Amino acid sequence: MEFILELMKHLYFFVFCLLVGATRLFGSEAGYRVDFDLNRITDDRLTVTVALPKLDQPTATFVFPVIAPGTYEFNAWHRLVHDFTAYDEGGLVLGVTRSADSQFVLMDAQRTSYVTYRVDDSFDVADSSVQVFHPAGTDFEDSIVVLNHTGIVGYIDGMQGRPYVVNVKRPTYLYCATALDVTARTDSSDEYVAPSYDALVDGPVLYSVPDTATIMVNSTRVLVALAHHNTSKLATEYANVLSKVTSAIHKYLGALPVNKYAFLIYLYNGDTVNVRYLRYAQGALEHNFSSMYFWRYSKRALGLNDVAGHEFLHILVPLNLHSEEIDRFNFRTPAMSDHIWLYEGVTEYFAEQTLLRDSITSDKDFIKVVEQWASSFRYLPPTFNLIKFSRDVLTPKNQEVYPLIYYYGPLNALLLDVVLRDSSKGKLGLLELVRLLMKQYGQSKPFKDEDLFAEIGRASTPEAQAYCEQFINSDGRLPVKEILARIGLTYTDSVDVGQLTFGIGVDRKSNDSAFIIYPDSLNPLGVHRGDLLLEVNNVKVTVKSFAETKALFRPETDAPVTLQIRRGEDEIELTAKPVKKTATKRHQIGFDANATADQLMLRNRVFYGKIN
């Protein structure tokens, strides 16, 4: 049976390729053909030709997405499009107008054979009103090209389900890294295909001088591809780190639901990218078979563990469990799902739980992370409803607080996990619930937003459904203290403690490795604002050695610390002991020394999925 299914897959793909790749100049009756040449990038602009499927209507609208799925923010890619022109088969120019929402209307659609246009890359765009999350963006350079197709290719409104063939001419030194099906490679070109616009958008492509490595996680082939402007080969180092993360996820899930995956990583190192809002740009964007990263350059994969785990675990939600709004995504007038708490919050929780269960982090480390999640209470508006927030996430008001979903969301997931374990006598946790729902629905069968809580109740317990209705769809705060007590954890909203300090903060200069000192009112060392920190206790301060500066930033005793600083042209040595201040610690979580055996058993079920 498996042989027959596999044969049918290959047969379907063969027919698909015949349909969409029938000609080189014009689109087929069924689908689109896209052509562009990376040898002819000028002023960070790429010229694109899209041959269209046969159009029967008198007019048609060529749509560029309003947002990129998974970003939850407006992009309006049509703002980066220039010189949009429609042609018939003979190359005669046809009429184009703009719609009310600024899309491109083909005025003689039945005769239109193809369109051409130039598009700016988003990494370097000078328009301050266009701020695209870099992992969802585009970059057109001689040695690096980032292709997120939402920023490059459009579709005819109502025909986003048609297949695409993309032909790319390129310099011989560039390598095409993607999880899409690459059907042809030559020394100077590549061709890749997608069965629909949604699938094309789901497959970013990274072109760069080859710096790649491949790892196997059981039977899943994982590609690690890096793009940067340095000559060092770093992919093996990054692959070693990512191998640990993906192996931990394999253990966590029991098996990976994909047979291939690609980590596509752009490493920024003060190069040509517009850095106006770079501080908020580092991160990643998930896809079904890949994830795209915009990351600060380092020879070591610093800080990549947590983010990579989060993005990879999106293979559960929303990629294999999602609502109708995500399954049939409307790129022109998007309707947002009610359940970002599930897609982002639960995924972030799973990422941390994966590290805990593989002993990459300890239970004490995990508790510290939960305290960070609980700190989101300080920044929430007076009323905050997770369902209303999700539904209206594109509004300016909710865009301001959107990052809180990665704190308040996983905190909610932890509490729901506790309720599930408690009400099922330890048998069913949040991961098991998601698996049950994935079996009921899956990648090609979405749920209805309004039915999810009832489906959770049917798959688990009435208590879990009641929690969702009472606290996820509520303006009130999550019952952290009451629910954490069920697993023998204490929660304190605020407590005053004595704390040693030197009253010093630092910030790294963007153009080199120097650390600028910013003192507060408690300043026993007598540093000045703007001094450069060179050494701490004879240890030179660098990015790699920064962890060794604990005695300065988090002193545990009143032992003196000696600094070497630069003030103007002078190097100065300063020595002092820390001083004590009263600090208010908020949202503190601890282990209850009087926890019962039942509470400890339930905690082990939640934390580790087992009793002992």
Q: Is the pLDDT of residue 15 over 50?
A: no
Contact 559, 480 (CB under 8 A): no
Give the 3-state secondary structure of residue 525: coil
Please classify residue 256 by burial: count the beta carbons closer than 10 Å to its beta carbon, then call 0-12 exposed, 13-18 middle and 19+ buried: buried
Residue 312 · residue 284 · CB < 8 Å: no
HEC-encoded secondary structure of 298-365: CCCCCCHHHHHHHHHHCCCCCCCCCEHHHHCCCCCCCCCCCCHHHHHHHHHHHHHHHHHHCCCCCHHH
Is the pLDDT at 14 greater than 70, yes or no?
no
pLDDT at 275: 52
Which residues, 6+ apart, have CB-to-CB distance to 272 below 8 Å? Answer: 123, 124, 141
* pLDDT tens sequence across 216-241: 999 999 999 999 999 999 999 999 99
Predicted local confidence at residue 524, as pLDDT: 92
pLDDT category of residue 10 using cuts at 50, 70 and 90: very low
Give me the mean pLDDT over the 587-606 stretch: 96
What is the pairing mode between strands 181-185 and 212-217? unpaired
The separation between CA 38 and the C-alpha centre of its own chain, rounded to angstroms, equals 26
High-pLDDT (> 70) share of the chain, %: 91
Contact of 388 with 456, CB cutoff 8 Å: no
Q: Which range among 14-23, 188-197, 569-578 shows the weakest confidence by mean pLDDT?
A: 14-23
Please name the residue that has the structure tokens 């500066």.
549
pLDDT confidence of residue 26 = 45
Q: Write the pLDDT tens digit of every residue in 337-346.
A: 999 999 999 9
Q: What is the pLDDT, as a whole number, of residue 186?
A: 97
Distance of alpha carbon 422 from the chain centroid: 32
Residue 323: partners with Cβ closer than 8 Å, 6 or more residues away: 337, 338, 339, 446, 447, 448, 449, 452
Radius of gyration of the chain (CA): 27
Give the integer Cα–Cα distance in Å for 573 and 526: 11
Q: Phi-psi category of 15—alpha, beta or left, where left has phi over 0 and alpha has psi -120 to 50?
A: alpha
Residue 564: strand, helix, or coil:
strand
The reported pLDDT for the residue numbered 74 is 87
Give me the pLDDT at residue 12, please. Answer: 40
Q: Give the mean pLDDT of 370-391.
A: 94
pLDDT at 510 over 60: no
Cis peptide before 204 (omega within 30 of 0): no
pLDDT band at residue 611 using 50, 70 and 90 as cut-offs = low
Predicted local confidence at residue 553, as pLDDT = 85
Cβ atoms 397, 389 nearer than 8 A: no
pLDDT-based confidence at residue 556 (cuts at 50, 70, 90): confident
Per-residue pLDDT, 39:
97
- In whole angstroms, what separates CA 229 from the centre of its chain? 23
Residue with tokens 């995956």: 261
- The 3-class SS string of 132-193 reads CCHHHCCEECCCEEEECHHHCCCEECCCCCCCEEEEEECCCCCEEEECCEEEEECCCEEEEE
Tokens of 8: 């049918």
Cα–chain-centroid distance for residue 85? 34
pLDDT band (50, 70, 90) for residue 75: confident
- Alpha carbon distance 191, 51 (integer Å): 15
The pLDDT of residue 305: 84
CB half-sphere exposure, 27, CA atoms < 13 A:
28
pLDDT band at 349; cut points 50, 70, 90: very high
pLDDT digits (tens, 9 = 90+) for 579-591: 988 777 789 999 9
What is the predicted pLDDT for the residue at 506? 84
Per-residue model confidence (pLDDT) at position 509: 58
As separate numbers, helices (DSSP H) first and strands (DSSP E) second, the chain gives 17, 29
Lowest mean pLDDT among 50-59, 342-351, 582-591: 582-591
Q: Say what the pLDDT of residue 11 is.
A: 43
Task: Map residue 38 onto helix, strand or coil.
Answer: helix
DSSP string, 227-292: E-SSS---HHHHHHHHHHHHHHHHHHHSS-S-SEEEEEEEEESSSSS--TTGGGT-EEEE-SSEEE
DSSP 578: -
Residue given tokens 């996983």 in the structure block:
410
CA–CA gap between residue 450 and residue 438 (Å, rounded): 17
Give residue 147's pLDDT band: very low, low, confident or very high (50, 70, 90): very high
Helix (H, G, I), strand (E, B) or coil at 12: helix
- pLDDT (0 to 100) of residue 128: 67
Q: Nearest-5° angle of CA 549, CA 554, CA 558?
A: 100
Question: What is the mean pLDDT of the segment spanning 409-415?
Answer: 98
Distances (CA, A) of 569 to 95, 315, 527, 530: 65, 54, 15, 12
The larger pLDDT score, comparing residue 532 to residue 586, is at 532
pLDDT per residue as tens digits for the range 539-550 = 888 766 766 777
H-run or E-run covering 97: strand 96-98
What pLDDT is stored for residue 280 in this prediction?
Answer: 47
| Mean pLDDT calculated for residue range 270-291 | 73
Q: State both tokens at 156.
A: 């005819």
**Nearest-angstrom CA–CA distance, 535 and 561:** 10
Residues 312 and 246: beta-carbon distance below 8 Å: yes
Looking at the chain, how many residues does it have?
612
pTM given for the model: 0.82
Q: Which residues pair with 155 in a beta bridge?
A: 63
Q: Are 300 and 237 in contact (CB under 8 A)?
A: yes
Determine the Cα–Cα distance for residues 244 and 126; give it in Å rounded to an integer: 39
- Of the given ranges (6-10, 29-33, 513-517), which has the lowest mean pLDDT? 6-10
pLDDT given for residue 513 in this prediction: 59
Section 558-564 average pLDDT: 92
Helix/strand/coil (H/E/C) assignment for every residue in 446-490: CECHHHHHHHHHHHCCHHHHHHHHHHHCCCCCCCHHHHHHHHCEE
d(CA 237, CA 242): 9
Region 352-368: what's the mean pLDDT? 95
For residue 371, pLDDT beyond 50: yes
Q: Which domains does the chain have, with CATH numbers?
A: 16-208 (2.60.40.3650), 211-307 (3.30.2010.30), 316-479+603-612 (1.10.390.10), 503-577 (2.30.42.10)
State residue 3's pLDDT score.
Answer: 35
Cα 180–chain centre separation: 18
Q: What percent of the chain has pLDDT over 90?
A: 73
Pick the more confident residue, 495 or 179: 179
Q: With beta carbons less than 8 A apart as the criterion, state whether 391 and 72 touch.
A: no
Buried b (16+ CB within 10 A) or exposed e, 560-580: ebebbbeeeeeeeeeeeebee
Q: What is the pLDDT of residues 446-465, one digit of tens each?
A: 999 999 999 999 999 999 99
* Mean pLDDT, residues 194-202: 97
Residue 533 half-sphere exposure, CB side, CA atoms within 13 Å? 31
- Residues 473-497 have pLDDT tens digits of 999 899 999 999 999 999 998 776 7
